[in-house]
Amino acid sequence: MTVPDPLILASASPRRRELLAEIGAVFTVVVAGVVEHEDPALDPRVMVARNSALKADHVAALHPDAWVLGADTTVFVEGQALNKPAHLEAARAMLRRLSGRVHTVFTGIALRHSKLGVCEDLGVASEVEFRSLRDTDIEDYLRLVHVLDKAGAYAIQEHGERLVAARRGSLSNIIGLPQDEVRELLTRRGVLR
């Protein structure tokens, strides 16, 4: 039985590490030293596709004999992407903007293998409906959850019941890595057995 080439996750996200491990993947992590595109005016599907490809391409160039998985996630509401907040005031503003509204979470996935010439991309979308939040709800949430490393200033898996009224689509996508789609992609390419 041949051993597949190693898998590298090109992401610093601890949530992505957990989600990828949960589907049975054996991998190492190499954080891509790239500057992500975070233009809130850019179509969010294009932005996450560019960022996931940027990360995967960078790491694949350094590890041409490995499979490299890149991912990027953003929150999109009323025509604007809400990326990671720069500070708590920006996080408050994002949560106020999401209050009582439905938004879309987009994740871009890029799989690369330089030596084999594999360059595969996909995108996944899920919808989240927020409860109407008072300022006290927002402050309570910010006391409980570190949000500065999270698109849209929230994590559905961390006290999400305080914010979220409903969701449609993949929960793991909302967290940051759509497990079903990634499992199918890696299985089809022989990376997962």
Task: Give bridge partners of residue 136 from the DSSP assignment.
Answer: none
B/e letters for 14-35, b = 16+ CB within 10 Å, e = fewer, are: ebbbebbeebebebeebebeee
CA gap 88, 71 in Å, rounded: 25
Largest CA distance in the chain: 58
Q: Are strands 7-9 and 27-29 parallel, antiparallel or unpaired?
A: parallel
Report, as residue numbers or ranges, the catalytic residues. Answer: 72
